Amino acid sequence: MIELDQVSKHYGDSIAVNSLSLTIQAGDFCVFIGTSGCGKSTTLRMINRLIEPSHGHIRIDGEDIAGLRPELLRRRIGYAIQSIGLFPHWTVARNIAVVPQLLGWEPQRIRQRVHQLLELLHLDPAQFADKLPAQLSGGQAQRVGVARALAADPNILLMDEPFGALDPITRESLQAEMLRIQAELHKTIVFVTHDIDEALKLGNRIVVMDQGRIIQNASPQQLVQHPANDFVANLIGQQDRGLKAAACTTVAELLQPARMPLPSDQPRLHGSDSLKLAVSQMLWHKVDCLPVCDDSGQVIGELSMQRILEQQP
């Protein structure tokens, strides 16, 4: 869990972040969205102490990070940014291995981890481990950046507009990749974007910022259905209708009777899950139908991809 408690950042007379309070739960995919200069990156970089707050406190799992050594803190937190920052003269494998090496892992363990991460990011280890960054496409380099951020298996991942420079198709595939990784690894992710499509696609919690403050902190459903003010309404006004519906319709609304028998080894949806989550689960598990259960774990029905597609406006 990450808690920001009345955190401010001043630069001379100007205020980049203004007494911001926010709790991000473990396992959340929290997206900061807002116009350029509203304080998103500054807020993110205060969480790993690349920037020190002027006022306020930040706690991780209850511990005030001001009392931790920044370099040790940063080894526990993955960080991925748009410009990637791969070392140009190091191979892909060596770039990914940076933090495990700092942590003093055995070479054999590092090799295995690099291999595992390349596979996780769908980069064939035999083909990519020994390449140099200049030999990669933008999308491949960004995948390496994500792999590097995950290398030491941090609980927290900070991502600052990581896909901002990619073309739309590569960008979509990396967004899908992030949903898959999150479904598999359950990290706490704080993700900065200025793109509302990206925010609604990825986040289960969306924090809209303006002028260093939080305007709205809500689930995608709440944000779309009850924008806090005109600023938020305008932000989501341009939003694609299909995606909007997927973000604010729940699985329970489209529930179908369960066929018998249900395979026991399948993941389950909850009635309160959004269709967006249901679709990403189906794509990830490569199935076109999933059982739906209630809070007690009792199966109450199922949901098929066909049924979701019929609902698209």
Residues that bind ligand ADP (CB under 6 A): 11, 16, 34, 36-42
Of 136 and 159, the one with the shorter C-beta distance to Mg ion is 159
* Residue 113: strand, helix, or coil: helix
Contact 256, 303 (CB under 8 A): yes
Choosing among Mg ion, ligand ADP, none, which partner's interface includes residue 162 (Cβ < 5 to 8 Å by kind)? Answer: none
Choosing among ligand ADP, Mg ion, none, which partner's interface includes residue 16 (Cβ < 5 to 8 Å by kind)? Answer: ligand ADP
Of 41 and 204, the one with the shorter C-beta distance to Mg ion is 41
Choosing among ligand ADP, Mg ion, none, which partner's interface includes residue 227 (Cβ < 5 to 8 Å by kind)? Answer: none
Q: How far is the CB of 204 from Mg ion (least distance, A)?
A: 22
Q: How far apart are CA 157 and CA 188, in angstroms?
A: 6
Of 16 and 158, the one with the shorter C-beta distance to ligand ADP is 16
Choosing among Mg ion, ligand ADP, none, which partner's interface includes residue 37 (Cβ < 5 to 8 Å by kind)? Answer: ligand ADP
Q: Which of residues 36-75 bind Mg ion (CB under 5 A)?
A: 41
Contact 208, 214 (CB under 8 A): yes
Of 41 and 142, the one with the shorter C-beta distance to ligand ADP is 41
Q: How far is the CB of 306 from Mg ion (least distance, A)?
A: 41
Q: How far is the CB of 51 from ligand ADP (least distance, A)?
A: 8
Of 152 and 209, the one with the shorter C-beta distance to Mg ion is 209
Of 43 and 188, the one with the shorter C-beta distance to Mg ion is 43
Half-sphere exposure of 153 (CA within 13 A, CB side): 8
Choosing among Mg ion, ligand ADP, none, which partner's interface includes residue 126 (Cβ < 5 to 8 Å by kind)? Answer: none
Contact 203, 220 (CB under 8 A): yes
Q: How far is the CB of 191 from ligand ADP (least distance, A)?
A: 12
Encode burial over 264-273: b for 16+ CB neighbours within 10 A, e otherwise.
Answer: eeeebbbbeb
Contact 122, 143 (CB under 8 A): yes
Q: How far is the CB of 306 from ligand ADP (least distance, A)?
A: 41
Q: Which residue is it, tokens 């944000």?
A: 223
- Residue 121 CB neighbour total at 10 angstroms: 21
The one-letter code for the residue type at 229 is N
Phi, psi of 71 (to 5 degrees): -70, -30
* Residue 305: strand, helix, or coil: helix
Pairing outcome for strands 29-33 and 205-210: parallel
Q: How far is the CB of 40 from Mg ion (least distance, A)?
A: 5
Point out which residues bind Mg ion (CB under 5 A): 41
